[in-house]
Amino acid sequence: MISLLLAILGMVFLAVVLKAGERRRRSRMVLMSANYLAATALSLGYYFWTGSVPAGIATALWGGATGIVYAASLLLWMVVIRQAGVGTSTTAMRLSVVWPALISVFVFGESPSLWQGLGVALALGAVVLLAVGSSLAPRLRHGSGPGWVIALFVTSGMCSSFLKLFQQWGAPAQRPAYLAAIFLSAGVICWSWVAWRRWRLGERLHGPDVRDGLLFGVGNAVGNGFLLKSLETVPGVLAFPLRDSASIVIVSVIGAVVWKERPGRLGTAALAAATAAVALMAL
């Protein structure tokens, strides 16, 4: 459970860095690309420091495939942000928690207790309330491309699902190598995109964007590493919804205290549902 708590704190850190970046109008693409530099460096450092087992072909290929999906999810996220805003895109990513939860239940036969199951349902309900509160439906009706939102929902779910599948089928000793392969492959794709835009459009790199991206990468590597570790003891059907609902609560509190944000009625209902979900799933 300690590993899951650290994974939650890692996700909160990511949300805070993104929120601060949005307020300062950071370049999202540069921030995300720089994130993979730090995440790759940390995961490789951990890999060599622990003397972990070298990655087998299956682990390298699976890590590379996971990284490609991560990069695709990131690029789709950029598209949906432009078309439907940050609220809609973030909601689509949060809703994708349903994919690893379903895999945990129907593929690996995991089943929560009655109260924990209610907590999972409340966690998903909290995300739906956030979707309504972010005006998801009106934005889509005005031609913002529902297909892109659906694609983001699917690819984001695939990211977490790939982590769950590796935890079940992969070699535990090769976890550091797997994480390094994820971040390395995703980083190559993202930096290739940044280089292309710099060449074709003349976009420049700015120090604050790179700095925030490196900070983001620290949380990314730590959060995903501890999430994989937590899946050894916490069923995926609980781990993924608990991580998301707990992060909703913590980030909402930080937003209210630091940035004086007010969630509104639906946001308050979502926060209450997420809080109850955390309590029930922790039973």
Q: List, for residues 63-100, the tens digit of each pLDDT value.
A: 999 999 998 888 887 777 666 665 566 666 777 888 88
pLDDT digits (tens, 9 = 90+) for 116-155: 889 888 887 887 776 666 544 444 444 455 677 788 888 9
Nearest to 42 by CA among 209, 189, 161, 215: 215
Q: What is the pLDDT of residue 52?
A: 66
Nearest to 137 by CA among 192, 168, 92, 193: 92
**Span between the terminal Cα atoms of the chain, in Å:** 12
**How many Å apart are CA 130 and CA 150, to the nearest integer?**
17
Q: What is the CA radius of gyration of the chain?
A: 18
- Residue pair 14/215 in contact by the 8 Å Cβ criterion: no
**How many Å apart are CA 140 and CA 35, to the nearest integer?**
30
Q: What is the pLDDT of residue 137?
A: 45
Q: What is the pLDDT of residue 278?
A: 86
pLDDT digits (tens, 9 = 90+) for 171-181: 888 888 899 99
Distances (CA, A) of 145 to 28, 40, 76, 95, 158: 20, 33, 12, 17, 21
pLDDT digits (tens, 9 = 90+) for 196-223: 888 887 878 888 888 888 988 998 898 9
**How many Å apart are CA 227 and CA 279, to the nearest integer?**
19
State the pTM of this model: 0.80
Q: What is the pLDDT of residue 12?
A: 86
